[in-house]
Structures are given as C-alpha cells and as structure tokens.
Copies of this chain bind each other. A is one copy, B any other.
Amino acid sequence: MDIAILIYDRFTALDAVGPYEVLSRLPDSTTTFVGETVGPKRTDTGVLALTADASIADVPTPDIVLVPGGPGQSALMGDGPVHEWLRKAHESTTWTTSVCTGSLILAAAGLLQGKRATSHWTALEELGGLGAEATAERVVFDGKIVTAAGVSAGIDMALTLVARIAGDELAQAIQLGIEYDPQPPFQAGSPQKAPTEIVDAVLAYSRFEAASR
C-alpha cells in the first residue's frame, strides 16, 4: 500500500506528522512525503523544514493520499500540477484524505462536490462555498474521501482509518505505541467548548492571518 503525504511551503507540520506517525505503521505500506518539487518545504512558522523525498510526478498512483492544511493552502487553490495530480490520483486511490484546510485544496480540485467533509473550524464556511457539504465533525467519511478537522484531528482520523484498513487491534496497538491517551490541560479545543473570548481572539487572529497572506 502506497501512502503519499503532500507537503508544500507554509503547511502546518502537525497536520501531516500526526497522521504520518499512525499511517506509516501500517504493515506492508510505504509512506512517501511528496511535493510539487523534491526538497525541503518550510512550515507555516518558518522555523521548520520537512523534506519531500519525491515529486508528485514520481508517485502518480498512491493508494492513500493525504493533504495537510496550513496558510500555504491558499497558494494551491488555483488549477495547476497539484490539482491535476490530485484528480488523477483520486481515480485509483483507496482513500483520499485531508487534515485541516487541506480539504479546501481537495475541494478546489473538484473532489468534494456534494460530499460531506470537514476542515479547520474557521474554514467550514469557505469549504461550503466550494461545493462541499461542510460538517462540523472531527472525522468525516464520505465514500473513500476522509477529512479531518483542524491540525490535531489528523491523529484521530488516521487511527480511525487504520482500523478500517487493518482492524481495530492494529489501530489500538498503534494508539498504545504512541501513548495516545490525551489529557489536555484545558477544555478549549473546539469553539463549542472554549470560552467565548478565546474563540473571538482566535477568529480575529485567523482573519488577520488570512488577510495578510
């Protein structure tokens, strides 16, 4: 099973690395970080680079595609090699997946028309505007399309996906291997749970970020 994780400049590292840590443990699988070009891709903070070991052209028919999000997503909304690769790969994937605003890229490539899908909570409206049925759930399956909510939701998605692919026992073993027994110090991880003033502050910051792209 070939797993291709797309990375690009200004993606959010955890969007890709969370699911990678889970999916790469699938037996008989090969995970490849791919980019439009080979080489280091710098994340949204500017202080970290992950290497794309192959180009998208090198991995034309992956079984699983994963598209992370992050501010750099906005540069991948127009037609071009990434959309062409996604559309072509999607014809033969078993699973086409995204984390966070990676779903906006899938939608812009035309893969989410009428599909139930999710994204970072600040991007659900934009996702709906691109033709998807935007859904505020953490992990959304619609046929072979699987989308996760913001950033850390990719871990939950990947564990769910491993269970579908290889059974609950392997998913549980991987969960135990990465000691994923989350104990967040606050209940502030969703706009429903966080205090209103925190939600407003994050929304204001995300609009500022979007405007400054």
Contacts and interface: CB of A to CB of B under 8 A. Distances in A.
A185 B156 contact: yes
22 contacts: A12-B21, A14-B17, A14-B21, A17-B17, A24-B48, A31-B47, A33-B47, A47-B53, A48-B50, A49-B51, A49-B53, A138-B183, A151-B180, A155-B182, A156-B182, A168-B186, A172-B186, A172-B188, A176-B202, A177-B202, A179-B190, A181-B189
Interface string A178-213: 111111111011110111011101100110000000
Query: For this complex, into which size category does the number of interface residues on chain A fall?
Result: 35 or more
Dominant secondary structure at the A interface = mixed
Contacts of A79: none
Q: Which of A12, A50, A178, A191 has the most CB of B within 10 A?
A: A178
Contacts of A177: 150-151, 202, 205-206
A32 interface: yes
A153 interface: yes
A48 to B, nearest CB: 6
